[in-house]
Amino acid sequence: MCRVTFLLILVAQGWSSSVDVSRHSSPAFAWMPTNGVVLTPIRLPLEHAYCSCSALLGSRLQLVYPRQSRPRGEIEVRMAREPCSSSKLMQILQTASSSPTSLQPTSFSLANNEPKGEPELTKIAMEGAGIGDEARPHKMGWRDGEMESEFARLAMAVEEGYTPDLTSFNRALLLCSRAVSKGLGSAALQRALCILALMNSAQVSPDRRSFCLLLEASVGAALQGNRVAIRCSLTIIRNMYSVGLMPDLLLTNQLVNKMLKSSKNISEAYIEAFDLTQGMRRAGMKLDMYTYNSLIAACSQQNERGLERAIEILKLIREDELEPDMVTYNALLHVCAKSAQHLGRRAVDLAQHIFSLMQATDNLKPSVITYNALMHASGLAACSSGEDAIEMLQGMVAAFKEMLARGVKPDQKTFSTVLHGLARGIQFIVLNQPSNKQRGNTIDPKQLNLIIESAEEILWKMDEEGVAPQLSNFRMMLLIYAKSSARLSNRDWLESSLKLLEDMRNRGLVPCLECYTSLMEVCSSMAGRANCTRRGFWVALDLLAELQGAGHIPTSFLYILIFNAARKDGSEEAVDLALGLFLSLSESYKTKFVYTSIISALSAKGRGREAASLLEEAKLHGIVPDKVMYSVCTDASKATRPSDAGGRGTSRETPSGMVKKCRELEKDDRVVSEQVAAQATGEDGGENSRVREPEEK
């Protein structure tokens, strides 16, 4: 029954070499009952062949391979236990043709010779053991002559009533495993499953070599991109456990590695791979470091949960009396680095402990990969450690200096990791400095300056180490200057930034939009400062023209920086140019923050009338003014000069009148807010897009 079930399914899918049904658009099936009456050949569409065989299977019909005298594409079926009338056979075929989706086949089991309904391995075989139609034999045009001829010889022997010995079946499985090296992984797996079905039909029990050869074909197909073969391999291993056989460790390691790298859900794949390895341990199989290293490497993609699992694996390594190698320690450090963003200092402390364990191990010396992971952990922890951010950055710089002192040559990834960590850490410190002041924990400017100087030294160290600086390295350094210029006033940050920009151009590097954004941040911060040799507003205008000439599209945040620079510049000419630039902008650029910045620039020069006019314009465009905009307009009205001859920038209203007008506008704000909220709930959200805060905030 096992042979009948599986071979009928194979023929229906077009897998059999003796009956190549797939080459015919409408294959002819000649059915012969045991009474010797030959029925008229009934032609069924190819899509009904699978279900038709399933229906015949329910009536205990069995397959007989065709002789050379029969037409190609025909098969013969005879009853296994009881005769079948022509009317019954016709009824079965009509049922199969009319309801092709309602029939389910019977399948075989690897664990014993008794058929079962839908076991997993046969279900995989019916899926074609391939990714799609391109993996089918009749689609991909594969033929390994030696493998096919051996399978045909075995199939014919079983058909004639002979029972091949175990060596013959293992030879056929060996040919299937060899076909994997020729790039025929999916095809070899399909044929290997057919051979195993013949073994069940001939009542030949597979031994460990048989299962290992089948597993080799399945794992080989998985390594060649066949995702179904992964599930097939797991089923083969489970069936080996059921009969007391151990799989090959090398193949199991390859399977575990492939499972973890090809899965879209790494957490589920890790659990399945971990359960597989634990089943091997319970069965008495000794794992090696390759198995554990694959599991630890997968933990790096699971955030804080991955760190707990990595520690659990490290305990299992100790229980198995194995010694962690360099790959193990580097993988553990990488897990700590990935978890540092969520766990902060705890992950860094654990990374330092693992690093000390590595140093205490004989014949193990830290490599560039080791230091890269260690510094990566400190850099990510600096962005989530709060008060420990400075200490994390100092630890990263110390690790870099220790690396050079030990004679370990840094690579491009080393410099990128350090500069990126320093830039993001300084950005985190600067943005969170006001909250630190509220708690009474101010940041020491001297420590921050030392970190910035270390970043500059690391950037120039690249030339000494023979590593060419890339655009990303300069971009991170400009980001450090941009964030530092907002809090530190002890040096001319604009001059340092422009020198760095000139160095980039001399190296043939084209600045990106992020570089220009950082430069304009420096211009906005340094505008109006006494220690700045250049006027930041005018440099910002030059940079705006330069980036537009390079094909970059300015963002609204860039215009906010320019208008802030005009306000700090303090000259009427700068404010006039800023106002003209604002009026030339399209409506998409005029966000709430852009209005606030230009109104603030007008307010600084006492041009309250124009500021109030822009506030009215913003409300007409659907922008809901906030307290900042109202306070800016109020300050502008108080600073407005008395009217004189209708000069530019004057207001005919008194300061108290402007304050009253701003208060009236503030009362009307509720009505505007309700209107904007009502529009936001409607389908048309074109004008409401300005209410949202931009990413540049």
HEC string for 255-313:
HHHHHHHHCCCHHHHHHHHHHHHHHHHHCCCCCCHHHHHHHHHHHCCCHHHHHHHHHHH
For residue 98, what pLDDT band results from cuts at 50, 70 and 90?
A: very low
Which of 636, 628, 640 has the alpha carbon at shortest distance from 666? 628
Is residue 440's pLDDT more than 50?
no
Q: What percent of the chain has pLDDT over 90?
A: 16
For residue 186, what pLDDT band results from cuts at 50, 70 and 90?
A: confident
Residue 599 backbone dihedrals phi, psi, to 5 degrees: -65, -40
Q: Report which of residues 274 and 134 the model is more confident about.
A: 274
Distance in angstroms (rounded) separating the CA atoms of residues 475 and 578: 27
Is residue 6's pLDDT more than 60?
no
Is residue 558's pLDDT more than 90?
yes
Task: Give the residue-averaged pLDDT of 533-540.
Answer: 84
Element (H, E) at 464: helix 445-464
Q: What confidence tens digit (pLDDT) does each residue in 630-678 have?
A: 676 666 555 554 443 344 444 434 444 444 554 554 455 444 445 444 4
Question: In the structure encoding, which two tokens stand for residue 318, read together?
Answer: 């100790």
CB contact at 8 A, 658 and 633:
yes
Strands 42-43, 61-64: pairing kind: unpaired
- pLDDT on residue 433: 63
Query: What length does the chain have?
Result: 697
Question: In the structure encoding, which two tokens stand for residue 342, read together?
Answer: 């969520």
CB contact at 8 A, 417 and 373:
no
**Three-state SS for 87?**
helix
Compute CA 348 distance to the chain's CA centroid, rounded to the nearest angstrom: 24
Q: How many CB atoms lie within 10 A of CB 290?
A: 16
Residue 99 backbone dihedrals phi, psi, to 5 degrees: -130, 75
Task: Give the residue-averaged pLDDT of 521-528.
Answer: 88
Which of 508, 480, 507 has the alpha carbon at shortest distance from 493? 480
- pLDDT on residue 64: 37
Is residue 609's pLDDT more than 90?
no
Torsion of CA 314, 317, 323, 329, to 10 degrees: -20
Q: Which residues, including other chains, have CB under 8 Å from residue 644's CB and lie 6 or more apart?
A: 650
Q: 3-state SS string over 379-398?
A: HHHHCCCHHHHHHHHHHHHH
Distance in angstroms (rounded) separating the CA atoms of residues 188 and 176: 5
- pLDDT on residue 199: 81
- pLDDT on residue 385: 65
Element (H, E) at 688: none
Distance in angstroms (rounded) separating the CA atoms of residues 414 and 400: 9
CB contact at 8 A, 484 and 426:
yes
Residue whose entry in the numeric block shows the structure tokens 């941009």 = 482
Residue 649 backbone dihedrals phi, psi, to 5 degrees: 85, 5
Distance in angstroms (rounded) separating the CA atoms of residues 535 and 528: 7
**Would you give the DSSP letter of residue 683?**
S
Distance in angstroms (rounded) separating the CA atoms of residues 508 and 479: 20
Question: In the structure encoding, which two tokens stand for residue 32, read together?
Answer: 């012969």
For the chain, domain boundaries: 1-106, 555-697
Is residue 13's pLDDT more than 60?
no
> Average pLDDT over the chain, rounded to whole?
70
Q: Which residues of 349-378 are buried (b: 16+ CB within 10 A; e: fewer)?
A: ebbbebbeebeeeeebebbebbbbbbbbbb
Compute CA 161 distance to the chain's CA centroid, rounded to the nearest angstrom: 55
- pLDDT on residue 506: 92
Which of 142, 159, 187 has the alpha carbon at shortest distance from 63? 159
Which burial class, exposed, middle or buried, applies to 141 when counting CB atoms under 10 A from its CB (0-12, 13-18, 19+)? Answer: exposed
- pLDDT on residue 250: 85
Which burial class, exposed, middle or buried, applies to 160 when counting CB atoms under 10 A from its CB (0-12, 13-18, 19+)? Answer: exposed
Question: In the structure encoding, which two tokens stand for residue 616, read together?
Answer: 């009215």
Task: Give the residue-averaged pLDDT of 220-247.
Answer: 80
Distance in angstroms (rounded) separating the CA atoms of residues 409 and 403: 8
Lowest mean pLDDT among 143-147, 172-176, 444-448, 666-670: 666-670
Is residue 519's pLDDT more than 90?
yes
Q: Report which of residues 298 and 120 the model is more confident about.
A: 298
**Three-state SS for 61?**
strand
- pLDDT on residue 383: 78
Question: In the structure encoding, which two tokens stand for residue 279, read together?
Answer: 């089943």
Lowest mean pLDDT among 215-229, 348-362, 414-428, 561-575: 215-229
CB contact at 8 A, 547 and 562:
no
Q: What confidence tens digit (pLDDT) does each residue in 329-376 have?
A: 999 999 888 888 788 888 888 888 888 888 888 788 889 999 999 999
Distance in angstroms (rounded) separating the CA atoms of residues 466 and 456: 17
- pLDDT on residue 634: 65
